[in-house]
Structure 1
Amino acid sequence: MERVVVDPGIGLDELHHVTAEIERAMTAVIEGKDDVVRTALTVLLAGGHLLIEDVPGVGKTMLAKTLARTVDATVHRIQFTPDLLPSDITGVSVFNQDTHAFEFRRGAVFANVVVGDEINRASPKTQSALLEAMEERQVTVDGRTYPLPDPFLVMATQNPFEMEGTYPLPEAQRDRFMARISMGYPDPSAELRMLANHGGRPPLDDLVAVTDAAAVTRLVRGVESLYASPALRQYVVDLVTATRSSPHLRLGASPRAGLQLLRAARAHAALAGRDHVLPDDVQQLLTPVLAHRVILSGDAELSGSTPAEVLATILDSVRVPG
């Protein structure tokens, strides 16, 4: 079989240069979270959407705004609240008295980067307004379909659902996010640097874009062509299938999860400077890509297991291709 390499228009050298500049700019703002920044970059290159979950005050919105600021593209922020309407997100048709016709006024989702702050504070009806946009890159209002710009990335933050005033994201909504990450608290040394660097002028004020939307689109298309062997693709299928038969899971991963795991693995390989995907790429992304899609069984919940622990067990049980 002939190896498929990166699109000739996009070389790994260019990809490394652009992503290194983005990473450098982001780590100057996000202290001590290099692994989180790298996962966010992986999702960007894979053309997916990112869900950032943690308690208030640990920098979820700062991470989303920082990544958005490094790309010279249209950026819209949506503050999700209980009274937010679906039309606020997608747009609405308004009757024009002068032309005696309805005109479509675009909602906040019409941007290259959409930052959804505290997405689980809105009602499930409002959350569902993003379903078509995230999966099909389009919005349908009053029977007419409007394409969204390219690239299109949703970065949503959410507080743990047990906190006051939150609604749990439905399974269909969670499944559309390529990866979920948790910020976590910074270590003491990073927190000390944060106090020194962020105590005065906000670091976002000095952040400038290092690339643009057109370049990101080319990079995403180039990453899509990275080589994944048949054995590697079978490995992805075996992992996803194992989640559906695990006695510890009530809901396993969907076929969409397998597709997004492979796309994320391709981006991870590109960031590592390779033109082919290894099992290591899949293994490192298994938890961020699958943990938010699976649902524990009743017995697993009672025993205190977590999705990450169950996925680690599955990872050990599935044979790694040679």
Structure 2
Amino acid sequence: MHLPKVHCERPPFVLATSLIDNIEKVVVGKRAVVALLCRGHILLEDVPGTGKTTLARALARSVAADMKRLQCTPDLLPSDITGVAIYNQKSSEFEFRPGPVFTNLLLADEINRATPRAQSALLECMEEFHVSSDGVTHQLPKLFMVLATQNPIDMAGTHPLPEAQLDRFFVRLSIGYPSLSEEVSILAAQAREHPIDRLQPVVSEAAVLAAREQVKEIHLAPAVADYIVRISDATRRHPDLRLGASPRATLALARGARGLAYLRGRAYVTPDLVKTMAAPILEHRLIAKPKAAALGRSAHAILGEVLDQVAPPV
């Protein structure tokens, strides 16, 4: 295996494997690790009780970095997220008090229960990685990453994320129900305590930042880059889609394929890696036309057709 030489406290593939193995002591989280290595934000969407919050906590605990949790509610204000300027009587000046967004890993639990005004406070943070307040720009930590959860059912009183914000999430993941044997194992593992209580950090912040630099050096051949662009273009021209993949989605798919190649110990991206990452990266960005949706055509099915129709490079 050949990977670019970047100073790191342990071999790159061992680092990634250690992180995955540690998270999977609690819940399956390989694609969450890909997002971490690509500096991408994660939207965890699934029914209640499947381990969305647990996956986010496991990822945070596996990295020796700060984590803050934000419980999204209808009364949440933008300043509750980004911070607020408070007048200091001693200095007769306003001082900026950072909000919970100033952390390495931010867990935004049930993000669709926050109002659109509060949700929009995350837009600048997620894309530019800084906060603007009173004309002053405050940089967020280099490791900054948002892990947001939401339930696709019980939508009364919630505010669905708009397309502009969905596009800022690198991947949308669904954990799903465990198999019979897996659920028996869950019962045994939590008989006395939750496994996450024993979870210890296995990588440092510096190691993750170094790994991100190595991911950027994974080779993306022109033919594979052209394949990625043709997939995005096909979604924009598909007759059943009202909204196709944006250029941001194209960039995310390229980064995700590089990240998966890194995890698998490859020095280059192959078309099969692109197809593997296409669903979690592109699906939540696609919107079916009303007529197609009425006929039961989902973004998942349409994307599957696109991947079948767009010929990969030889």
String of CA shifts for 1:50-89, please: whole Å, max 9, x gaps.
Answer: 1100111111000000000000011111111111110011
Query: Is it true that 1:114 corresponds to 2:106 in the alignment?
Result: yes
Q: TM-score, normalised by structure 1?
A: 0.94
Deviation at 1:225?
A: 1.2
String of CA shifts for 1:83-126, please: whole Å, max 9, x gaps.
Answer: 11100110000000000000000000001111111111000110
3-state SS of 2:97 partner: strand
In structure 1, distance between residues paired with 2:89 and 2:195 = 46
String of CA shifts for 1:239-290, please: whole Å, max 9, x gaps.
Answer: 0011110011000110000000000000000111101000011000111000
Deviation at 1:164?
A: 2.6
Query: Is it true that 1:250 corresponds to 2:242 in the alignment?
Result: yes
3-state SS of 2:197 partner: helix
Q: State the number of aligned residues.
A: 313
In structure 2, the residue matched to 1:175 is 167
Query: Is it true that 1:14 corresponds to 2:11 in the alignment?
Result: yes
3-state SS of 1:103 partner: strand
In structure 1, the residue matched to 2:216 is 224
Whether the 8 Å contact between 2:17 and 2:263 is mirrored in structure 1 is no
In structure 2, distance between residues paired with 1:161 and 1:224 = 37
Alignment partner for residue 48 of structure 1, among 37, 40, 44?
Answer: 40
String of CA shifts for 1:218-242, please: whole Å, max 9, x gaps.
Answer: 1011101110011111111100011
Alignment partner for residue 23 of structure 2, among 11, 22, 26?
Answer: 26
In structure 2, distance between residues paired with 1:207 and 1:235 = 40
In structure 2, distance between residues paired with 1:105 and 1:161 = 36
- The within-5 A match list for 1:246-285 is 246-285=238-277
Gaps of 5+ in 1: none
In structure 2, distance between residues paired with 1:250 and 1:45 = 31
Alignment-mate amino acid for residue 183 of structure 1: I
Alignment partner for residue 79 of structure 2, among 74, 82, 87?
Answer: 87
3-state SS of 1:8 partner: coil
In structure 1, the residue matched to 2:207 is 215
Query: Is it true that 1:64 corresponds to 2:38 in the alignment?
Result: no
* Identical positions, percent: 47
Deviation at 1:42?
A: 0.9
In structure 1, the residue matched to 2:140 is 148
Alignment-mate amino acid for residue 114 of structure 1: L
Structure 1 segments, 4+ long, off by >3 Å, are none
In structure 2, distance between residues paired with 1:125 and 1:45 = 30
In structure 2, the residue matched to 1:99 is 91
In structure 2, the residue matched to 1:286 is 278
Whether the 8 Å contact between 1:7 and 1:221 is mirrored in structure 2 is no
Alignment-mate amino acid for residue 159 of structure 2: Y
Alignment-mate amino acid for residue 301 of structure 1: A
Query: Is it true that 1:193 corresponds to 2:190 in the alignment?
Result: no
String of CA shifts for 1:265-320, please: whole Å, max 9, x gaps.
Answer: 00000111101000011000111000000101112101111111100000011111
Deviation at 1:162?
A: 5.3
Deviation at 1:165?
A: 2.6
In structure 2, distance between residues paired with 1:24 and 1:318 = 34
3-state SS of 1:104 partner: strand
In structure 2, distance between residues paired with 1:297 and 1:269 = 34
Whether the 8 Å contact between 1:252 and 1:295 is mirrored in structure 2 is yes
Q: TM-score, normalised by structure 2?
A: 0.97
Whether the 8 Å contact between 1:120 and 1:161 is mirrored in structure 2 is no
Gaps of 5+ in 2: none
Whether the 8 Å contact between 1:10 and 1:222 is mirrored in structure 2 is no
3-state SS of 1:292 partner: helix
Alignment-mate amino acid for residue 213 of structure 1: E
Whether the 8 Å contact between 1:150 and 1:213 is mirrored in structure 2 is no
3-state SS of 2:231 partner: helix
**Alpha-carbon RMSD:** 1.4
